[in-house]
Structure 1
Amino acid sequence: MYLFFYIFVAVTASAVFVMAEEMIWNIIAFTVVGVLLIKMPNRFYIFIAAAAAYFSATYAVDNNFSVYTEDTYEYSGYVKGVSPTTGSSENFKIDFLTEEGERLLIYAEQKPETGSRCFISGKTSAPDSSRSPYQFDYQDYLFKQQVHWQVFSDKVSCTDGSFFGQWRDKREEALVSVGTAKGEGPPLAAALVFGDRKFIDRERIEQYQNMGVIHLLAVSGLHVGLITTAVWFLMVRIGLTKETAALLLIIILPFYMLFAGGAPSVLRAGSMTMIGLLFVLMNKKIPLFEICSITGSIFIFINPYIVYHIGFQLSFGTTLALLLSRRMLKGSGIRLILKVTLCAQLASLPFILYYFHSVSILTLAANIFFIPLISFVILPLSFAGVFASGVWQGAAAFMWKIMDFILGFMHFLLDFLESLPYQVLPVGALSAWMLLLLFISVYYIFKNWTKASAHVWTGVAALTFLLTFSIVSPYFDNRTYVHFLDVGQGDAALIELPNREAVYLIDTGGETVFTGEEMVMAEFGPGERTIIPFMKSRGITKVDKMILSHGHADHIGEVCTLTEKLTVSEVLYPAGEEMVPFAEEQIECLKEKEIPTVFVEKGDHWIEGEHSFEVIHPSGAGNYDENNQSIVLRAVVSETSLLFTGDIETLVEEELVRAGLLEHTDILKVAHHGSKTSSSRPFLEAVSPKVSVIQAGVNNRHGHPHEEIVQNLLGMNSAVFRNDQHGTVTFIIDEGKIYAIPYIKEKP
């Protein structure tokens, strides 16, 4: 009987019960603890552990608040860590602990030493929260680390740091030195040795993630085990007793865990090793399975919020599954590697699907090839290169060249595997119930692995059915979905026709930033930040028509990014005599990818099933500025009329009214983000919208939408939804009825 395992399960369930945001997880957690207390022996110890975890989690939740408000303060406290901000070596992010015991994120141009006592002044501001489904929620991420505010400061005054702080700063300098070296090898070495992959190209990270080998870019338990084993044998070979070697490793490992970045996988493996070595010193034997359970329980008692960390879930979930499966992991060579990889992939599958919404069918093959290559070739080269970089740059450069050569072959193979058609299964976002059923199916497979094969195949069949159901269910959904995505100060609307007859994307949004010299497109814009995560959550990998209303960056700025990530069948663009330079750049992207571009004008129309679409502007004979050149698209889907107006202004609105091209509209995309130069009263009276959607960014510099426009719409009894107030807004159209679902609910 694995007492510590059942204690770990009870501790995890108690923490989840306290902190869960969905009722289903409260019910599941309560049920799990109840079953353990009824069915298992030693229930007294399980009860004590569960109760202690409950009170620990309750204490953590009750004390996770801030003493500050949004205001300017002077703070005194200590620097816990310093790192350069992304894409800059002149600005720094400071992890700061105030004397009141509250953590703050400070952004400043000055770089204090870690451990130093500082006086900092600045204004608190709340971190950005998620404004669209499945968008990364930075505010929630920091909240679970008990950080409530970020401070932008221009005044930092500090004393000298501590020895430990100076050591951390030296580590950061070494990390930057390695990570910024030329080639693909050094950034990957920085990830494997220091546990920080911020220097690896974002597209490469996405590729590893898509192929299910992202865990190879982390300092994993396998890496810690290899290093610990090597050091152990080295110390024994030079004459140290096993007891002395164990004691020295217990002393050394905490420093290595900090050096390697302190990720959950590193802490788990290092802590498990230390606990195991302690039992060696006490001449006691305990199964690795129980050591892992003890380690996980300790982590949760120290920080209950860690149960939300994907690294914690994957690390402990996969490790426990492998240890539980030790009876089936027999054999050697390729056969053993295949079994271990299969078990690890199976155990991690529910987590991967829940967080990333897709899985590659080539993941198993990729892992079988890459795990030995990374672990036994790239990892030793990484350590050798990092060591050499601090001693002899020439030797380090030689190591990096060897790594670049090997990685060139490895990434060629990765590129090839990723390019294969239909290798990614777009599962989409999973409900809590579906996730629970996946876990049950995986558990059933593990439970019956060594028994009759019929039971195993029953589990495999259940797992296959669940995955198939998730993939094909949108093709049996006869409702229409229209999503007005919050892309900041820009437009992007996604239409899903019933039964996935077609998927249309109208505009892509776009974000510009000022570099000090010129305006450029943001490196991580709304395409990657909002649109791609949303589409992955919907299981969408193909867009049948991308309709670009006109050539301004806030409408088409993400064309190149999106066409890299999605299959786009056709692009529609307004016909006209001239094209602005920015639009020419985007069209060039389409040509490179051989995506056909159709130039449309008034009178063009098409039918998709029972749904009609008609372009009512621009007219080929007109001579308009870029805003007034916008495509105006009228659609009738599921007995509901929609009007998309781009950035047209009063001039075009008057033309449309005079031509009698306007009629009652159920859903109106308000022109030009609610600008006063659009949405004239005659136009609004002609379309008489039941629902109006304004796509404008929070606190945008243009002051959109104009209050007069909003009041005019409300005065016409039109329900008004705004991206700046409601985030992404989804309309579900079912048999002519419209159901609005704003991501951000209005406060009562």
Structure 2
Amino acid sequence: MIQGRVLCRISLLIILLITISAYAPWDFLGVYDKAEAATLLKEGQIAKAEGYIYHKEIKKDKVLYYVKNASVTTGSGSLSKTSFIFKLDSDVIPNYSKLNIEGKVKHFSSATNEGCFDMKKYYNSLGLYFELTDIGMYDFSCNCFVEKDLAYKIRQRISLVYNSCLPGEEAGFLSSVVIGEKSGLDGELKALFQNVGIAHILAVSGLHISVICMAVYRFLRKRGRGFVVCGLLAGSIAVIYGLLTGGSVSSIRAIGMFLIYLLAQITGESYDMPTAMAVIGDFLLLGNPLFIKNGSFIFSFGAVLGIYFIVLPLNNAFTNYFIYLRRSKKPHDKFYSDESMIHKLIQYICSSLVFSFGMFVAMLPLVTQLYHQTPLYSVFLNLIVLPFMPVVLGVGLIAGFIGACAGLGTSALIGWKMFPALLVKILLLICHFIIYQYELLSDFVQRLPGSAMVVGYRSMWSVVIYYLILLLIVYGLDYIEKSINSGKKINQRNTILIKAGALIFIAILWLYPPKGDFEIDILDVGQGDGIFINSGDGARFFIDGGSTSSDAVGQYTLLPFLKYKGAGSIDYWFLSHMDLDHVSGVLELLEQGYQIDNIVLSAEIPEGETLSQLLALAEHNGTNILYMKQGDVCGTRNLSFTCVYPYPEMVSDDVNDLSLCLLMQYENHGILTRETDGQENFLAFFGGDIAAEQEHAIASSGLVEHVDLLKVSHHGSRFSSDFSFLEVLSPDVAVISCAKINRYGHPSAEAIERLEAAAGHIYYTMNSGRVRMNASGVDEYISEKLF
């Protein structure tokens, strides 16, 4: 596939070496050297820095500045050629100006649970290694041209035009699509497009280059202009447009490949897509090797590779089959004649469907590795959405520039300005209609059954094997068929059907989430509780799920983790009581429509406002409500939960005293018999927020004994972890779930002292992140490799 492409081979070798160094245990190229050097700066330390502003954007009413080639000096040392970010209320500092600044060092936070957003990895992948906060002073210097900051001001002026003529979410959509300005992009609209598989239209990409720059180049060529003139003009427009849109990874990739195409046209050489892609990849990675772990980089280059090596061969095979059908028919058969419009329409639709399906299969592992789910209807939705994007882009760009030149949105419309303003509104009305249809269509698709298939995270080897099989199907089947039918005529129809069937089969295999092995995951939710349990025999359980220290814990912690684990639904969700640090996330998930088959409560749970809200949401979602009393058992073949507390008809003014307490038992039964194999027998106790009095009563009841795992009650409060209770349970492992900083003083020194005397090992989610127990032992999330 790359025979004779010497430059391509060299470039791909460089990319391969950087990839291995970034993902393998041994960083032999030092791609993490700058990131690791930045960690030596102490948090909160005053730092003086000197560097160059290369980008700025508005985020949450603040202006976020990106600084590169910086020298940083602190009281304990200095760094050179590093990069960082800082925020100001003002956008007064121009792009590409030299900066002097003083502030406090702040390191990016790392994710403490799987699936959650990792700020450290994200910014490191952009070549940014820390943030300066509490800015004490700053000044900058630049020449008169840089001082004008034209690209940024034009971008803001065009955004004002859109905001003055379109509803908020549509203006944000158009700003993102046309000029790469994402500050006004509505979060709900972005999430909607992500869920249905058309979020790629929000990024400045190759589509923009083909619509704008390639259109200019071809227009000039048709007018008889020479290669050099056309190339220089189109190339200049591409570079200017890239600067205008902020220079994202996808736009740099697209513009770079376009410039190589123009160079090939001017010099009379043939353009080679893999070589162009590899060269631009090297250009980006040699500047910042950690781009190899950036989602935009992976998606942008992955899409090009998918198109060239997977989609185009499939599309060509289908096109050749249609040509074969047309030629094999009799001359009087008008349906297959070249003049038949119906035939051309059918061929166009089928060809587009093959292209869309090919992209779905080619990008499937990349999508699921990043989002841990995939939209099943995106194959068909993109057929409708993509043909109208050139219209949105072209019309939106023209309207934006006309409005910006006329001062629309910045001054009163009087005199001659009324005429361009009217034209802009007419043009944007076209965009409004298309965007509105996108929203309606996406909302409809999102409501369809199975619109988003939760797949979970797969190992790197799974991704490699998937693509090897994919290449075997696309290329290997042709070779095998030619070898079998040597000298005979190949049946193209059967070849296409076999390939289609094989592609559908491996896609289904990838989409089918594995059951997983037995495990208990005590998540880091801050000041709260959240415990995921996989039975190992196909059932998933959750205990509590809330926080009072983390905003939107359901959206940003619980749901991402569940998607990472491939849990599109929960079979049984136990709620110990109705305090928000135990249920706030569950309420969020129910509001978002996440599937919970059964919610299990204590039979003695007191009434209250939170309980009423939970019951109403459960009824709306079709979730069953089950009540457990002492002695009731809930579970599956391998895993069972026994209610050991509260006692029947108990009442209390403190909801903590009536927490549902569960004794979990896991036994790995054989496949054909209910006899345990005797190798795995695991006991765990979960007690919500009960205090010492309730723990003492449970210990005296004889219902509990030694356990392998104790989820420490009430986040390590000094009023819990009774000595007699701990003595009976004598846990091998105790886990405390709480925030590092909380107003309750959790965990207390008294509780820790009692636990240290009774438990084998103690783990804290505030230090260890997610704590997992399975057949292999205990795993702490943030003790893993952070880079």
Give the TM-score normalised by structure 2. 0.80
SS of residue paired to 1:147? coil
Equivalent in the alignment of 2:391: 377
Equivalent in the alignment of 1:96: 67
Q: Give the Cα–Cα distance (whole angstroms) in 2 for the partners of residues 586 and 686 of structure 1.
A: 35
- Partner of residue 139 from structure 1, selected from 81, 105, 120: 120
Q: Give the Cα–Cα distance (whole angstroms) in 2 for the partners of residues 572 and 584 of structure 1.
A: 15
Residue correspondences, number: 694
Q: Give the Cα–Cα distance (whole angstroms) in 2 for the partners of residues 344 and 716 of structure 1.
A: 57
CA apart distance, 1:169: 3.7
- Structure-2 change in CA distance of 1:119 and 1:384 (3 Å): same
The answer to whether the aligner puts 1:687 opposite 2:726 as a matched pair is no
CA apart distance, 1:616: 3.0
Superimposed CA distance per residue, residues 627-659 of structure 1 (whole angstroms, 9 cap, x where no aligned partner): 223222222222322211111222432443455
- Structure-2 change in CA distance of 1:463 and 1:425 (3 Å): farther
CA apart distance, 1:438: 0.7
Equivalent in the alignment of 1:664: 706
CA apart distance, 1:346: 3.0
Q: Give the Cα–Cα distance (whole angstroms) in 1 for the partners of residues 140 and 267 of structure 2.
A: 44
- Partner of residue 651 from structure 2, selected from 606, 622, 646: 622
SS of residue paired to 1:544? strand
The answer to whether the aligner puts 1:349 opposite 2:364 as a matched pair is yes
The answer to whether the Cα contact below 8 Å between 1:113 and 1:161 also exists between their aligned partners in 2 is no
CA apart distance, 1:160: 5.8
- Partner of residue 58 from structure 1, selected from 29, 33, 52: 29
The answer to whether the Cα contact below 8 Å between 1:113 and 1:160 also exists between their aligned partners in 2 is no
Equivalent in the alignment of 2:153: 170
SS of residue paired to 1:532? helix
Q: Give the Cα–Cα distance (whole angstroms) in 2 for the partners of residues 277 and 260 of structure 1.
A: 21
Equivalent in the alignment of 1:365: 380
Letter of the structure 2 residue corresponding to residue 348 of structure 1: M
Superimposed CA distance per residue, residues 480-530 of structure 1 (whole angstroms, 9 cap, x where no aligned partner): 221111112211001111211x211111123457xxxxxxxx2xx332322
Q: Give the Cα–Cα distance (whole angstroms) in 1 for the partners of residues 753 and 157 of structure 2.
A: 58
Equivalent in the alignment of 2:740: 698
Task: State how 1:571-586 maps to structure 2 within 5 Å.
Answer: 571-575=599-603, 578-586=606-614
The answer to whether the Cα contact below 8 Å between 2:257 and 2:276 also exists between their aligned partners in 1 is yes
Q: Give the Cα–Cα distance (whole angstroms) in 2 for the partners of residues 493 and 577 of structure 1.
A: 20
- Structure-2 change in CA distance of 1:556 and 1:400 (3 Å): farther
Superimposed CA distance per residue, residues 438-495 of structure 1 (whole angstroms, 9 cap, x where no aligned partner): 11112123325766467776766665565555555734x5x42211111122110011
Q: Give the Cα–Cα distance (whole angstroms) in 1 for the partners of residues 138 and 566 of structure 2.
A: 50
Q: Give the Cα–Cα distance (whole angstroms) in 1 for the partners of residues 471 and 161 of structure 2.
A: 42
The answer to whether the Cα contact below 8 Å between 1:548 and 1:572 also exists between their aligned partners in 2 is yes
Q: Give the Cα–Cα distance (whole angstroms) in 1 for the partners of residues 508 and 520 of structure 2.
A: 25
Q: Give the Cα–Cα distance (whole angstroms) in 1 for the partners of residues 348 and 365 of structure 2.
A: 28
Q: Give the Cα–Cα distance (whole angstroms) in 2 for the partners of residues 105 and 61 of structure 1.
A: 18
Letter of the structure 2 residue corresponding to residue 506 of structure 1: I
Which protein has the larger Cα radius of gyration, Structure 1 or Structure 2? Answer: 2
The answer to whether the Cα contact below 8 Å between 1:185 and 1:400 also exists between their aligned partners in 2 is no
The answer to whether the aligner puts 1:437 opposite 2:411 as a matched pair is no
- Structure-2 change in CA distance of 1:240 and 1:286 (3 Å): closer
- Structure-2 change in CA distance of 1:178 and 1:355 (3 Å): farther
The answer to whether the Cα contact below 8 Å between 2:456 and 2:513 also exists between their aligned partners in 1 is no
- Structure-2 change in CA distance of 1:397 and 1:105 (3 Å): same
Equivalent in the alignment of 1:636: 665
Q: Give the Cα–Cα distance (whole angstroms) in 2 for the partners of residues 296 and 583 of structure 1.
A: 54
The answer to whether the Cα contact below 8 Å between 2:22 and 2:31 also exists between their aligned partners in 1 is no
- Partner of residue 246 from structure 2, selected from 261, 268, 280: 261
CA apart distance, 1:606: 3.0
Task: State how 1:150-299 maps to structure 2 within 5 Å.
Answer: 150-159=131-140, 163-164=145-146, 166-171=149-154, 173-174=156-157, 177=160, 182-235=167-220, 241-299=226-284
Q: Give the Cα–Cα distance (whole angstroms) in 2 for the partners of residues 176 and 707 of structure 1.
A: 55
CA apart distance, 1:329: 3.8
The answer to whether the Cα contact below 8 Å between 1:264 and 1:312 also exists between their aligned partners in 2 is yes
- Structure-2 change in CA distance of 1:711 and 1:109 (3 Å): farther
SS of residue paired to 1:101? strand
Superimposed CA distance per residue, residues 383-435 of structure 1 (whole angstroms, 9 cap, x where no aligned partner): 24433542335545555554343333333322232322235443321112211
Superimposed CA distance per residue, residues 136-172 of structure 1 (whole angstroms, 9 cap, x where no aligned partner): 2211222233322222114233246553362244145
Equivalent in the alignment of 1:503: 540
- Partner of residue 47 from structure 2, selected from 68, 73, 78: 73
Q: Give the Cα–Cα distance (whole angstroms) in 2 for the partners of residues 743 and 175 of structure 1.
A: 45
The answer to whether the Cα contact below 8 Å between 2:453 and 2:568 also exists between their aligned partners in 1 is no
SS of residue paired to 2:519? strand
Letter of the structure 2 residue corresponding to residue 549 of structure 1: S
Equivalent in the alignment of 2:558: 531
Letter of the structure 2 residue corresponding to residue 340 of structure 1: F
The answer to whether the aligner puts 1:678 opposite 2:720 as a matched pair is yes
Letter of the structure 2 residue corresponding to residue 386 of structure 1: G
CA apart distance, 1:584: 4.0
SS of residue paired to 1:698? coil
The alignment's C-alpha RMSD in Å is 3.2
The answer to whether the Cα contact below 8 Å between 2:116 and 2:561 also exists between their aligned partners in 1 is yes
- Partner of residue 336 from structure 1, selected from 351, 354, 369: 351
CA apart distance, 1:278: 2.3
Letter of the structure 2 residue corresponding to residue 343 of structure 1: G
Q: Give the Cα–Cα distance (whole angstroms) in 1 for the partners of residues 784 and 373 of structure 2.
A: 32
The answer to whether the Cα contact below 8 Å between 1:560 and 1:590 also exists between their aligned partners in 2 is no
Task: State how 1:455-494 maps to structure 2 within 5 Å.
Answer: 466-469=506-509, 474-475=514-515, 479-494=517-532
Letter of the structure 2 residue corresponding to residue 710 of structure 1: I
The answer to whether the Cα contact below 8 Å between 2:595 and 2:621 also exists between their aligned partners in 1 is no
Superimposed CA distance per residue, residues 641-698 of structure 1 (whole angstroms, 9 cap, x where no aligned partner): 2211111222432443455544332211101111112112122223222221111123
SS of residue paired to 2:130? strand
Larger deviation, residues 488-497 vs 441-450: 441-450
Letter of the structure 2 residue corresponding to residue 132 of structure 1: N
The answer to whether the Cα contact below 8 Å between 2:100 and 2:139 also exists between their aligned partners in 1 is yes
- Structure-2 change in CA distance of 1:448 and 1:414 (3 Å): farther
- Structure-2 change in CA distance of 1:274 and 1:103 (3 Å): same
Equivalent in the alignment of 1:517: none
The answer to whether the Cα contact below 8 Å between 1:445 and 1:460 also exists between their aligned partners in 2 is no
Mark the runs of 5 or more structure 2 residues left unpaired by the alignment: 72-79, 320-346, 410-420, 482-491, 668-680
- Structure-2 change in CA distance of 1:381 and 1:598 (3 Å): farther
Q: Give the Cα–Cα distance (whole angstroms) in 2 for the partners of residues 175 and 662 of structure 1.
A: 68
Equivalent in the alignment of 1:318: 303
Larger deviation, residues 588-597 vs 723-732: 588-597
Larger deviation, residues 173-182 vs 362-371: 173-182
Give the TM-score normalised by structure 1. 0.84
Q: Give the Cα–Cα distance (whole angstroms) in 1 for the partners of residues 50 and 782 of structure 2.
A: 36
Q: Give the Cα–Cα distance (whole angstroms) in 2 for the partners of residues 610 and 428 of structure 1.
A: 23
Q: Give the Cα–Cα distance (whole angstroms) in 2 for the partners of residues 676 and 183 of structure 1.
A: 50
Letter of the structure 1 residue corresponding to residue 545 of structure 2: T
Q: Give the Cα–Cα distance (whole angstroms) in 1 for the partners of residues 442 and 593 of structure 2.
A: 16
- Structure-2 change in CA distance of 1:461 and 1:715 (3 Å): farther
Letter of the structure 2 residue corresponding to residue 102 of structure 1: T
Equivalent in the alignment of 2:753: 711
Letter of the structure 1 residue corresponding to residue 725 of structure 2: F
- Structure-2 change in CA distance of 1:80 and 1:203 (3 Å): same
Letter of the structure 1 residue corresponding to residue 105 of structure 2: T
SS of residue paired to 1:622? coil
The answer to whether the Cα contact below 8 Å between 2:257 and 2:280 also exists between their aligned partners in 1 is yes
The answer to whether the aligner puts 1:18 opposite 2:21 as a matched pair is yes
Letter of the structure 1 residue corresponding to residue 150 of structure 2: W
